[in-house]
Amino acid sequence: MTSESTARALLESSIAVSDLAAPRGNEVHCRVRPDAIVPLADFVCGELGAELILMAAEDRRRSSGAFVVNYLFAHRASHWLLHASAALDGARPELPSLARFHYPASRFEREIRDLFGIAVPEHPDPRPLVRHGFWPDDYYPLRKDANGREFHDDGQPFPFTPVGGEGVYEIPVGPVHAGVIEPGHFRFSVMGETIIDMKSRLYFTHKGTEKLFEGRRPADGTALAERVSGDTSVGHALAYCQAIESAAGVEAPHRARLLRVILLELERLYNHVADFGAIANDTGFAVAHAHCFRIREGLLRLNKQLTGARLLRGVLSPGGLNRDLAVPADFTTAIQAALVDFDEVVAICFNNTLLMDRLEQTGTLGMEVARDHGVLGFVARASGLDLDARRDHPFAAYGELDLRVPVLAGGDVKARTEIRVEEARESARLIARACERLTPGPVQASIGEVAPRVPAFGIVEGWRGRIVHWIVAADDGTLDRVKIVDPSFFNWPALSYALVGNIVPDFPLCNKSFNQSYSGNDL
Amino acid sequence: MSRVAAVLLQTLLAVALAPALTGFIRWLKARLQGRRGAPPWQPYFELRKLFAKEAVMSHTASWIFTATPFVVFGTSVAVASLVPLVLAPTDRFIVGDLFAVVYLLLLGTFFLALGGLDTGSPFGGMGASREMTVVALTEPTVALSIVALALNAGSTNFSQIVGRTIADPVTALGPGHLLAFAALFVVTLAETGRLPVDNPSTHLELTMIHEAMILEYSGPYLALIEWGSSLKLLLFFALAANLFMPWGLALSFAPAALAVGLLSVVLKLAILATAVAVFETRIAKLRLFRVPELLSASFVLALLAVVSTFLAGQTP
């Protein structure tokens, strides 16, 4: 099904959509009345088989007196995207809920409720998501008129679902941990050492990142996008740049797109190598950790040699790259050498029966649960879901690179470990292929004015999974609203399901095998 | 030289040497992992740092919390005065008794678990519960493996056991002796919080056993507990080394014999520490519920050692 036939299917359905347009490639944009949101989503997800990948609210009360909520649906197999906007009453905004049939939508709706004060009356879960206990009752940070306030402890504990029964007790962990990691509170209900339920309370790192984009010139947002999640600089910056390019109707030159592939795969490679070592370390096998960190360090130095920055920052810019990169002649050889080194560590680990005993059958995430939660990235691919934005919504130069997407069925920590190894190998192969195809040429297309009031987005498969940046510009060409979706937003809730029936001391191992971002989740 | 002075000196030596042993294992593990590692004497700096720091305490902590570090350190020092380290003269009962050692160590562990529970923090309780599970399975093995030696010597006194082995070196290679050594080595790893039972270098609070119990301690209290734990490791090593391979132990107060005793004990500790470091580098931590399997196996080894020693004692 193409975008045209999608548009036709929409028109032929009985759903009241208006202003149907297909501004770019695979995209269909439309407006929808609030009362038609639920039938539309039902039709697009149920009948057409698409999924909701983003919900972004905007405060447009100054210009049009309304709140606008935008929905982005994506169809994996036939690559089309549907963008639907609904205007809500500015004085008493109420949003119909999709939570009944779409779990990720329920999380987006809670986020919108907390950040914009848009009520979602039918929502089954009244608890806050992003909202911190210190925020005043009428404080909605993403409203345009939200200003600096005094913050006090409201003294109320978070309403965790209690688990009862004889011998069941709770273990609260965090948000301050014994190690140097990001803050997250985990509430375990356990029986002896067996986990019956785990609920995570995140959102201790709200930095107002999305708000910080507002009012910036599009070109000035890249540095901020690079810092959304420290280990995903390229992923987020690239999604941001692609969103700006889409809004400006510009495509990056071929050489820049190939270099972007190299940068994104370099990021995937060093993160997967480090994660592999960290998983081994959590089983007490510190040798693998030490060596993976050594290999990671080698890769970071290659990054520095190529771009001048160990974490690949300061290279991407809307329109391409802000300078041409000279790929050294022995670059692919050096990557290959690092991979051979990594493979040796992997072989040592996979031949260690004690280590493998810890990984097998630990933290199993079934395919059904993964699908229902809209799980993304390597976590999804380790649970048998064949999805990858590099193939499903091709960007940069992936369309020409013959990408192989590994998928494993196990769903346990072992599968999530193995899939990282497979993807690291694939990354090295993609880097080599992209380097072969590099030809001299320009790396920057000039970005003109970004069309105001026209939403645009960029989709990237970062190393954790699909990243979406959604932007809309104000009349003066500055950014009016930027919405960022890190794959962790989808993946965090699935962790609880992977834990059920496991024992408490295996939690860190399960958590590490997911390795979700706290910062990317809580913007 | 008087007996009292000898015991005092030997105890002081054990107390002084203990942090170096822990540091040596850490350093060697780092080298084996391809890291540079902190020098072996690093634990001394850490102790000095901790003793200089203020102790932060939970408001809900009772006297048990403050008493525990002293009990842990005190029992370790008391055991140090009983275990043959450098000298074990067979003519006088200068070193101690098997049962005293086992139960003194247990007293320290018991208080450590109480200290973990005292503040009411979830990790203390979790660590204490896990530690008690492990200890319930290790203590019988410790006692039984030493009983295997005691049967042979006809006494639970360390001097007699050492004397018996030196007098009849063939027994050292007997099945009872070797099985008991294997059993004691496994429980040494469990009792002192080493891999594959506990990971001494982890920062993951949910996987901890020993570290979870002492998570609430800080400053001088933490220093005492750390020091006591190092000492416990050294004492287990000394027991394993000197009961099963007593050669080199000074049997008199002659300066030459003492020098040989000192050298040999340092050498034996280094060998055992190297073995532990290599072992820990090659293995991962066991799943918690697999730990009882390992400890039951070590108990069976100890039981076989006793049976074998008993039967061997019947034949001639």
Residue A4 pLDDT: 72
The strands making up A27-32's β-sheet, listed across from edge to edge, are A17-21, A27-32, A81-89, A66-74, A51-60
For residue A87, give the DSSP letter.
Answer: E
Residue B158 pLDDT: 82
Domains and CATH numbers, chain A: 3-116 (3.30.460.80), 209-521 (1.10.645.10)
Query: Given phi > 0 = left and psi -120 to 50 = alpha, else beta, which region is B75?
Result: alpha
In degrees, rounded to 5, the angle at the alpha carbon of residue B74 between the alpha carbons of residues B71 and B77 is 150
Distance in angstroms (rounded) separating the CA atoms of residues A480 and A470 = 11
Is the Cβ–Cβ distance between A482 and A213 less than 8 Å?
A: yes
Q: Is A466 helix (H, G, I), strand (E, B) or coil?
A: strand
* A501 reaches B (C-beta below 8 A): no
Residues of A in contact with B117 (CB under 8 A): none
Q: Cα distance from B31 to chain A (closest Cα, Å)?
A: 10
Residue B168 pLDDT: 81
Distance in angstroms (rounded) separating the CA atoms of residues B70 and B124 = 18
3-state helix, strand, coil in chain B (%, to 5): 75, 0, 25
Q: Do A283 and B285 touch (CB under 8 A)?
A: yes
* A340 reaches B (C-beta below 8 A): no
Distances (CA, A) of A245 to A30, A113, A448, A466: 21, 30, 9, 18
End-to-end CA distance of chain A: 35
Residues of B in contact with A355 (CB under 8 A): 284
Nearest to B288 among A178, A193, A291 (CB): A193
* The residue to which tokens 């049009």 are assigned: A64
* The residue to which tokens 């939970």 are assigned: B58
Q: Cα distance from A355 to chain B (closest Cα, Å)?
A: 5
Q: How long a stretch of residues is chain A?
A: 523
* B281 reaches A (C-beta below 8 A): yes
Residue A521 CB burial class (10 angstroms; 0-12, 13-18, ≥19):
buried
pLDDT of chain B along its 316 residues, tens only?
567 788 888 899 999 999 999 999 999 999 999 999 999 999 999 999 999 999 999 888 899 999 999 999 999 999 998 888 887 765 555 567 888 888 898 899 999 999 999 988 888 888 999 999 999 999 889 888 888 888 878 888 888 888 888 888 777 778 888 898 899 899 989 988 888 888 888 888 888 888 889 989 999 999 999 999 999 999 999 988 888 888 888 877 788 888 898 999 999 999 999 999 999 999 988 888 889 999 999 999 999 999 988 887 765 4
Distance in angstroms (rounded) separating the CA atoms of residues B106 and B95 = 19
CA A465 to chain centre: 6
For B246, how many CA atoms within 13 A lie in the half-sphere containing its CB? 26
Q: Do A354 and B122 touch (CB under 8 A)?
A: no
Q: Do B287 and A193 touch (CB under 8 A)?
A: no
pLDDT of chain A along its 523 residues, tens only?
576 777 777 777 777 788 888 888 889 999 999 999 999 999 999 888 899 999 999 999 998 899 999 999 999 988 899 999 999 998 999 999 999 889 999 999 999 999 999 999 999 998 889 988 888 888 899 999 887 778 888 778 888 888 888 888 888 888 888 777 889 999 999 988 899 999 888 888 889 999 999 999 998 999 999 999 989 999 999 999 999 999 999 999 999 999 999 999 999 999 999 999 999 999 999 999 999 999 999 999 999 999 999 999 999 999 999 999 999 989 999 999 999 999 999 999 999 999 999 999 999 999 999 999 999 999 999 999 999 999 999 999 999 998 999 999 999 999 999 999 999 999 999 999 999 999 999 999 998 888 888 899 999 999 999 999 999 999 998 999 999 999 999 999 999 999 999 999 999 999 999 999 999 998 8
Helices (H) and strands (E) in chain B, counts: 11, 0
Per cent of chain A over pLDDT 90 is 74
Nearest to A358 among B203, B215, B287 (CB): B287
Instruction: Find which of A170, A171, A345 to mutate to test the B interface (most B CBs within 10 Å of its CB).
Output: A171
Domain total of chain B: 1
For residue B207, give the DSSP letter.
Answer: G
Phi, psi for A504 (deg, rounded to 5): -55, -45
Residue of chain B whose alpha carbon sits nearest to that of A504: B206
* The residue to which tokens 């009961």 are assigned: B243
End-to-end CA distance of chain B: 41
Task: Tally Cβ neighbours within 10 Å of residue B291.
Answer: 20
* A77 reaches B (C-beta below 8 A): no
Residue A3 pLDDT: 67
Q: Do B285 and A358 touch (CB under 8 A)?
A: yes
CA neighbor of A114 nearest in space, from A55, A198, A37: A55
Residue B316 pLDDT: 45
Nearest to A503 among B196, B215, B288 (CB): B288
CA neighbor of B221 nearest in space, from B68, B93, B21, B59: B68
Distance in angstroms (rounded) separating the CA atoms of residues A158 and B268 = 56
Residue A480 pLDDT: 94
CA neighbor of B308 nearest in space, from B118, B176, B174: B176
Structural domain containing residue B111: 3-314
Q: How many CB pairs under 8 A join A and B?
A: 82
Distance in angstroms (rounded) separating the CA atoms of residues A360 and A378 = 17
Nearest to A284 among B195, B215, B289 (CB): B195
Q: Cα distance from B145 to chain A (closest Cα, Å)?
A: 26
Bridge partners, residue A54, by sequence: A72
Q: Cα distance from A330 to chain B (closest Cα, Å)?
A: 26
3-state helix, strand, coil in chain A (%, to 5): 45, 15, 40
Q: Do B203 and A291 touch (CB under 8 A)?
A: no
Q: Do B284 and A354 touch (CB under 8 A)?
A: yes
Is the Cβ–Cβ distance between B238 and B267 less than 8 Å?
A: no
* A354 reaches B (C-beta below 8 A): yes
* Element of type H or E holding A72: strand A66-74
Residue B95 pLDDT: 61
Residues of B in contact with A172 (CB under 8 A): 122
* B36 reaches A (C-beta below 8 A): no
In degrees, rounded to 5, the angle at the alpha carbon of residue A68 between the alpha carbons of residues A64 and A73 is 145
Q: Cα distance from B129 to chain A (closest Cα, Å)?
A: 10
Residue of chain B whose alpha carbon sits nearest to that of A348: B282
For residue B288, give the DSSP letter.
Answer: G
Q: Do A280 and B284 touch (CB under 8 A)?
A: yes
* A69 reaches B (C-beta below 8 A): no
Residue of chain B whose alpha carbon sits nearest to that of A507: B206
What part of B 202-221 touches A (C-beta under 8 Å)? 202-208, 215
Distance in angstroms (rounded) separating the CA atoms of residues A395 and A234 = 14
Nearest to A504 among B196, B206, B290 (CB): B206
Residues of B in contact with A178 (CB under 8 A): 203-205, 208, 215
Distance in angstroms (rounded) separating the CA atoms of residues A59 and A469 = 18
Task: Tally Cβ neighbours within 10 Å of residue A510.
Answer: 23
Task: Tally Cβ neighbours within 10 Å of residue B36.
Answer: 8
What the block records as the tokens of A10 is: 């929409």
* B35 reaches A (C-beta below 8 A): yes
DSSP codes, A161-178: PP--STTEEEEEE-SS-S
* A508 reaches B (C-beta below 8 A): yes
What the block records as the tokens of B254 is: 């002659």
Distances (CA, A) of A400 to A433, B167, B247, B254: 10, 81, 73, 84
Q: Do A177 and B205 touch (CB under 8 A)?
A: yes
CA neighbor of B105 nearest in space, from B81, B87, B79: B79
What the block records as the tokens of B24 is: 């040596």
Strands A81-89 and A66-74, bridge-based pairing: antiparallel
Residue B196 pLDDT: 87
* B195 reaches A (C-beta below 8 A): yes
* A521 reaches B (C-beta below 8 A): no
What part of B 46-105 touches A (C-beta under 8 Å)? none
* B228 reaches A (C-beta below 8 A): no
Nearest to A291 among B34, B126, B284 (CB): B34
Q: Do A503 and B289 touch (CB under 8 A)?
A: yes
pTM of the entire predicted model? 0.92
Exposure string of A190-202, with b = 16+ CB inside 10 Å and e = fewer, is beebebebbbbbb
Task: Tally Cβ neighbours within 10 Å of residue A272.
Answer: 26
What the block records as the tokens of A2 is: 């193409």
CA neighbor of A70 nearest in space, from A92, A54, A81: A54
CA neighbor of B311 nearest in space, from B221, B214, B179, B184: B179
For B169, how many CA atoms within 13 A lie in the half-sphere containing its CB? 4
Q: How long a stretch of residues is chain B?
A: 316
Instruction: Find which of A187, A193, A297, A507 to mutate to test the B interface (most B CBs within 10 Å of its CB).
Output: A193
Q: Do B284 and A193 touch (CB under 8 A)?
A: no
